[in-house]
Amino acid sequence: MAILAKIVLSVIALNLHTTFLKQVPCIKKIFKIALTLLKPLVVWSIILTVAIELVLHWTLDDLPYKFLNHTSGPIRRLGQYSKNEVIPNNYIAIVGDSHAYGFGPWLYDNSWSWGQPDFATHHLLHAKTNLDIISFGYPGYGTFGSCLTSVSEYKFVSESSLWSELAEPKIILLFFYEGNDLINNLHEIEQRGFDISRISNDDAKDEIGILLKSEALKLYKDWSWFDHLASWNLFIGLFENYSHGFQTTQPVDHPTNIDHSRPRLEADDNQSKHTENIA
């Protein structure tokens, strides 16, 4: 029986091999046709991407907010129209939470605008002074996290090989909201290993400074090569936001510097019970 089974398997294998050899020319032909069709598609996709990228390098801050609202990554800062050029000169940098970002009724009323509406502090300052203003505002827990994001994003753009060098800001305007920023900042440094019982020690300032630099460097290393591309940021943002329209439940995603991958501490639970975070 074993010999018979081997003979049967050999015959089946031989038939399969013969059938495959007969199909090889057909498979090669299909592959050749597919390759012929894909070549121009790939080439034109690359050409269009490069062309769009070059155009955005000069006109990123001319896009309507309807599009800018969907951009992501550090490059979105260059798309802000509260400055005279894409790369600002002698600019003022605004750092803070949602108040610095511009969250509020003005933003909600203009989030789908085809124009460039004024809805935040940096827009009003630019309109009043004609100075270049960049907002590094980032909705989240407090000014500490916003400072981390600001440092990492500035470092990313200033060292980018695809963009002109971004100089240091002439003035930094730091927003601090007494309603929740203090408690939020304490929770943020505690989450990163700082013992808040030592906050009054003489060396606490230096330790927090070291913590700020190390955490900002971690954020900087998280950026990918694609984050240098304005076209990539724009198209991915548009795709992700409009794809939500095909979902039964639409998630509300706002920019945030909160690391949800970190385990929540007991202090965070107490904060959620006693302190409302409106940032």
Average pLDDT over residues 30-44: 78
Which amino acid does the sequence have at 43? V
Return d(Cα 93, Cα 132) in angstroms, integer.
9
Q: For residue 158, what are its two tokens? A: 């200033």
**Mean model confidence pLDDT for the chain:** 79
The tokens 């089974």 sit on which residue? 5
Please identify, among 62, 83, 99, the residue that sits at the C-terminal boundary of a domain.
Answer: 62
User: How many Cβ atoms sit within 10 Å of the Cβ of residue 195?
Assistant: 11
Residues 106 and 16 in one domain: no
Query: Which parts of 61-165 are beta strand (E)?
Result: 92-95, 133-135
Q: For residue 233, what are its two tokens? A: 């940021």
Closest CA to 267 of 198, 200, 184: 184
The pLDDT of residue 244 is above 90:
no
The pLDDT of residue 55 is above 70:
yes
Residues 142 and 268 in one domain: yes
Identify the band that residue 129 occupies on the pLDDT scale cut at 50, 70 and 90: very high
The pLDDT of residue 247 is above 80:
no
Contacts of 257 (CB under 8 A, 6+ apart): 138, 139, 140, 141, 145, 146, 148, 149
Which of 30-34, 65-69, 72-76, 107-111 is the least confident region?
30-34
Question: So what's the pLDDT on residue 71?
Answer: 84
Residues 140 and 158 in one domain: yes
Closest CA to 216 of 151, 164, 157, 141: 151
Residue at 219 is within a domain: yes
The tokens 């800018």 sit on which residue? 68
Residues 55 and 74 in one domain: no
Angle between helices 2-59 and 230-243 (to 10 degrees): 110
User: How many Cβ atoms sit within 10 Å of the Cβ of residue 167?
Assistant: 13
Residues 238 and 257 in one domain: yes
Question: So what's the pLDDT on residue 260?
Answer: 41
Residue at 246 is within a domain: yes
Count of helix runs (H) and strand runs (E) in the chain = 10, 3
Q: Is-contact 184 192, C-beta < 8 A?
A: no
Residues 55 and 139 in one domain: no
Average pLDDT over residues 17-42: 68
Helices (H), 159-254: 181-191, 204-222, 230-243
Helices (H), 60-78: 65-68
Residue at 32 is within a domain: yes
- How many domains does one find in the chain? 2
Residues 86 and 163 in one domain: yes
Residues 35 and 74 in one domain: no
Question: So what's the pLDDT on residue 173?
Answer: 94
pTM, to two decimals: 0.70
Distances (CA, A) of 150 to 4, 28, 98, 168, 245: 75, 53, 13, 12, 31
Strand duo 92-95 + 171-174: pairing: parallel
Question: So what's the pLDDT on residue 277?
Answer: 40
Return d(Cα 27, Cα 31) in angstroms, integer.
6
Identify the band that residue 39 occupies on the pLDDT scale cut at 50, 70 and 90: confident
Residue at 5 is within a domain: no
Residue at 131 is within a domain: yes
- State which residues form the domain around 241: 63-274
Average pLDDT over residues 8-31: 58
Return d(Cα 143, Cα 150) in angstroms, integer.
10
